[in-house]
Amino acid sequence: MTEALIIDGVRSPRGRGKKEVGALSTIHPQRVLAQVLNGLKDKVGFDPTDVEDVVTGNNSNTGDHAHDIGRLATLDAGWPISTPGVTLNRFCGSGQQAVTFAAMGILAGHQDLVIGAGVESMSRPSPSNTDGFTANNAHLYEQYPLIPQGISADLIATLEGFSREDVDRYGVMSQERAEASIEEGRFKNSLVPIYHDDGQLALDHDEHPRPGTTLESLAGLNPSFEKMGAWVPEGRTRSADQICKDLYPQIDKVIHVHHAGNSSGVVDGASAILLASPDYASAHGLKPRARIVMTATAGTEPVIMLTAPGPAAEICLRKAGMKVDDIDLFEINEAFASVVLKFQKDLGVPDEKINVCGGAIALGHPIGATGPMLIQTVLDELERQDKSTALIAMCTGGGMGTATIIERV
């Protein structure tokens, strides 16, 4: 079997995901991804004619993200019409899954040069006429009465005994680490600026971080999901909190601890990673930075929804013949503070090994684009620290998780 080599990767800055406020909110998501693709081409110097697919993750798939945004962005970038693109959806893990599928094509010997990408402009919410994760399927709802993710995060905190101070302390750490990383220029290697159509700079830095965040400042924020948890939607007989209590009778009630300061930020952005076979890389003078060691996905109970990063990581480690101690750095998406705290608790990962550059609480989580961003961040950090291996994992909607192990070459 051949190897799937990571040649390089780039990402856009993360812009605030609010219409007419965020710096990327007026730029079509196709255009944001197109500029990222061209930024990757310019950085590496490959011929787009040789790219056999642009596999793109996206969580929306409607509105401005519709009609196979992976292909449309490739055309918008001015790449040859012979370069195909495909779009997939595994909720928050879509971009990481795109990199996995790109690697699989190479590992199977079917392809030699593939891009794994992701994009999401959260300032452009997709039109929806569904009740949420069950998409108006009453039969599915009877089996799994899926609830908003923020309440799932609060349920995890309640079951695991994570206090408001615990999750706030994690939120402060994310901000402090992101601030230090920005000051030290750790993100510059992967960052490409995004421009308006008239050539004016739109954004060249991450827009979401809040430097100077403290426990005291977070203590003043009200829980974001308490009222939502008590609300009984029209046509339903139970609130989300009651659903949690019915499914997990060991709790007296859901303790709501998450808010904007300890949950992932709403942002716009795109990212892309170039993968190649060893033969192609050698023949075209491309120097790889890392290889994909193993990937995995996992499913867990879908109402609590956000507990699968640990199981996905454990599968990934087992299939790779590795243990937690073999991993130098972990990059776990900070969807909510309790998600990372549970991962650490279950796998025994210390603070000094996990999300050392900060994460989505400080930087933001542009849903479909986050996976490749996490891979790029941890690869840059492996090189900075002269370390070897990293594991990247994410929770996704519907009670799933994605995981990838990479190794420098």
Residue (of 160, 119, 193) closest to 310 by Cα position: 160
Instruction: State the amino acid at position 298 in one-letter form.
Output: A
- Phi and psi at residue 295, to the nearest 5°: -135, 160
226-246 CB burial, b ≥16 within 10 A, e <16: bebbeeeeeeeeebbbbbbbe
What are the E-state strand segments in 12-136?
15-16, 53-57, 85-88, 113-121
Q: Is the dihedral of CA 78, 278, 10, 90 positive or negative?
A: positive
Distance, CA of 167 to CA of 218 (rounded, Å): 10
Give 3-state DSSP helix, strand, coil % of the chain, rounded to 5: 40, 20, 40
The answer to whether 92 is a known catalytic residue is yes
How many Cα atoms sit within 13 Å of 89 on the Cβ side?
13
The three-point CA angle 154-159-160 to 5° equals: 95
- CA 370 vs. chain centroid, Å, equals 3
The answer to whether 365 is a known catalytic residue is yes
The answer to whether 208 is a known catalytic residue is no
Identify the active-site residue in 244, 316, 357, 395.
395
Identify the active-site residue in 65, 92, 208, 256.
92
* Residue 215: its H or E element: helix 215-219
Residues with catalytic annotation? 92, 365, 395
